[in-house]
Structure 1
Amino acid sequence: MNCFKKVSLWITVLFLFVSASFSIVPNTANAAENDPLGLKAEAAILIDAETGAILYEKNADVVLGVASMSKMMTEYLVLEAIKEGTISWDQEVTISEYIHKLSSPNMGLSNIGLTQGEKYTIEELYQAMAVYSANAATSALAEVVGGTEKNFVKLMNKKAEELNLGEFKFVNASGLNNKDLLGNHPTGEPNEENVMSAKATARLAFHLLKDFPEVLETAKIPKLKFKDGREYPNFNWMLPGLSYEYPGVDGLKTGSTDFAGYGFTATAKKGDNRFISVVMKSSTREERFTETRKLLEYAFNNHSKVEIVAKGAEVEGHKSLPVTKGKEDSVKIETADAIEMVVKNGEQEKYETVLTLDKKKLNEDGELTAPIKKGDKIGSLTVKPKEGDSIEFLTENGTKSVTVDVVASEDVEKANWFVLSMRAIGGFFGDIWGSVSSTVKGWF
Structure 2
Amino acid sequence: MLKKYLVSFAAIVLSLQGLSAVQAQQLIPAPPELAAKAYILIDANTGHILVENNADMPLPPASLVKMMTTYIVSNEIAAGRMSKDETVLISDNAWEKGGAKTDGSTMFLNPRTRVSVSDLMRGVIIQSGNDASIALAEHISGDEAAFADVMNHQASLLGMDSTQYLNSTGLPYEGMVSTARDLSLLARAIIQDHPEHYSIYSEKYFKYNNINQPNRNRLLWRDSSVDGLKTGHTNAAGYCLVSSAKRRDMRLISVVMGADSDKARARETQKLLSYGFRHYDTKTIYSAGDILKENAKVWYGEEGFLNLTIAENVTLTLPRGAQKELSANILVDEQIKAPIAAGQELGRLQVSLNDEILIDTALVAEKDIAQSGLFSRFVDWILLFITQLMS
When normalised by structure 1's length, the TM-score is 0.71
Alignment of 1:343 with 2:302, yes or no, is: no
Q: Which amino acid aligns with 1:150?
A: A
Name the stretch that deviates more: 169-178 or 339-348.
339-348
Q: Alignment partner of 2:66: what SS?
A: helix
Residue 117 of structure 1 deviates from its aligned partner by: 2.5
Alignment of 1:146 with 2:141, yes or no, is: yes
Of Structure 1 and Structure 2, the greater helix share is in 1
Aligned to 1:368: 336
Aligned to 2:239: 262
Aligned to 2:213: 232
Aligned to 1:396: none
From 339, 344, 351, give the equivalent of 1:383: 351
Residue 52 of structure 1 deviates from its aligned partner by: 1.7
Q: Which amino acid aligns with 2:285?
A: I
**Can you list the C-alpha shifts for 1:65-111, whole angstroms capped at 9, x where unaligned?**
11111111100111122223333223233333222222344532111
The alpha-carbon distance between structure 1 residues 333 and 124, as it changes in their structure 2 partners (threshold 3 A), is closer
From 217, 226, 230, give the equivalent of 1:253: 230
From 273, 282, 286, give the equivalent of 2:250: 273
Residue 208 of structure 1 deviates from its aligned partner by: 1.6
Q: Alignment partner of 1:57: what SS?
A: strand
Alignment of 1:403 with 2:343, yes or no, is: no
Q: Alignment partner of 1:50: what SS?
A: coil
Answer yes or no: is the 8 Å Cα contact 2:31–2:51 preserved in 1: no
Aligned to 1:74: 69
Alignment of 1:46 with 2:41, yes or no, is: yes
Matches within 5 A, 1:136-175: 136-175=131-170
The alpha-carbon distance between structure 1 residues 138 and 376, as it changes in their structure 2 partners (threshold 3 A), is closer
The alpha-carbon distance between structure 1 residues 421 and 343, as it changes in their structure 2 partners (threshold 3 A), is closer
Paired with 1:418 and 1:345, the residues of 2 have a C-alpha distance of 53
Q: Alignment partner of 1:210: what SS?
A: helix
Q: Alignment partner of 1:382: what SS?
A: strand
Q: Which amino acid aligns with 2:70?
A: E
Aligned to 2:327: 352
**Can you list the C-alpha shifts for 1:337-362, whole angstroms capped at 9, x where unaligned?**
6533232201114433343435xxxx
Paired with 1:72 and 1:158, the residues of 2 have a C-alpha distance of 15
Residue 176 of structure 1 deviates from its aligned partner by: 0.8
Q: Which amino acid aligns with 2:330?
A: L
* Structure 2, unpaired ranges of 5+: 1-27
Aligned to 1:196: 178
Residue 325 of structure 1 deviates from its aligned partner by: 6.4
Residue 202 of structure 1 deviates from its aligned partner by: 0.7
Answer yes or no: is the 8 Å Cα contact 1:377–1:408 preserved in 2: no
Residue 327 of structure 1 deviates from its aligned partner by: 11
Residue 367 of structure 1 deviates from its aligned partner by: 2.9
Q: Which amino acid aligns with 2:169?
A: S
Residue 416 of structure 1 deviates from its aligned partner by: 8.5
The alpha-carbon distance between structure 1 residues 112 and 356, as it changes in their structure 2 partners (threshold 3 A), is same
Matches within 5 A, 1:43-192: 43-105=38-100, 107-178=102-173, 192=174
Residue 266 of structure 1 deviates from its aligned partner by: 0.7
Answer yes or no: is the 8 Å Cα contact 2:207–2:213 preserved in 1: yes
Aligned to 2:261: 284
Q: Alignment partner of 2:36: what SS?
A: coil
Residue 269 of structure 1 deviates from its aligned partner by: 1.5
Structure scoring higher RCO (CA < 8 A, sep ≥ 6) equals: 2
Q: Which amino acid aligns with 1:217?
A: S
The alpha-carbon distance between structure 1 residues 415 and 262, as it changes in their structure 2 partners (threshold 3 A), is same
Residue 237 of structure 1 deviates from its aligned partner by: 1.2
Q: Alignment partner of 1:264: what SS?
A: strand
Paired with 2:380 and 2:172, the residues of 1 have a C-alpha distance of 83
Residue 149 of structure 1 deviates from its aligned partner by: 0.8
When normalised by structure 2's length, the TM-score is 0.79
Q: Alignment partner of 2:47: what SS?
A: coil
What percentage of residue pairs aligned between the two structures are identical? 31
Q: Which amino acid aligns with 1:99?
A: A
Q: Which amino acid aligns with 2:363?
A: D
Answer yes or no: is the 8 Å Cα contact 1:332–1:410 preserved in 2: no
CA RMSD of aligned residues (A): 3.5
Q: Alignment partner of 2:352: what SS?
A: strand
Alignment of 1:37 with 2:32, yes or no, is: yes
The alpha-carbon distance between structure 1 residues 413 and 123, as it changes in their structure 2 partners (threshold 3 A), is closer
Q: Which has the larger radius of gyration?
A: 1
Alignment of 1:300 with 2:300, yes or no, is: no
The alpha-carbon distance between structure 1 residues 348 and 225, as it changes in their structure 2 partners (threshold 3 A), is same
Paired with 2:339 and 2:265, the residues of 1 have a C-alpha distance of 61
Aligned to 1:8: none
Aligned residues: 359
The alpha-carbon distance between structure 1 residues 312 and 91, as it changes in their structure 2 partners (threshold 3 A), is closer
The alpha-carbon distance between structure 1 residues 352 and 153, as it changes in their structure 2 partners (threshold 3 A), is same
Q: Alignment partner of 2:190: what SS?
A: helix
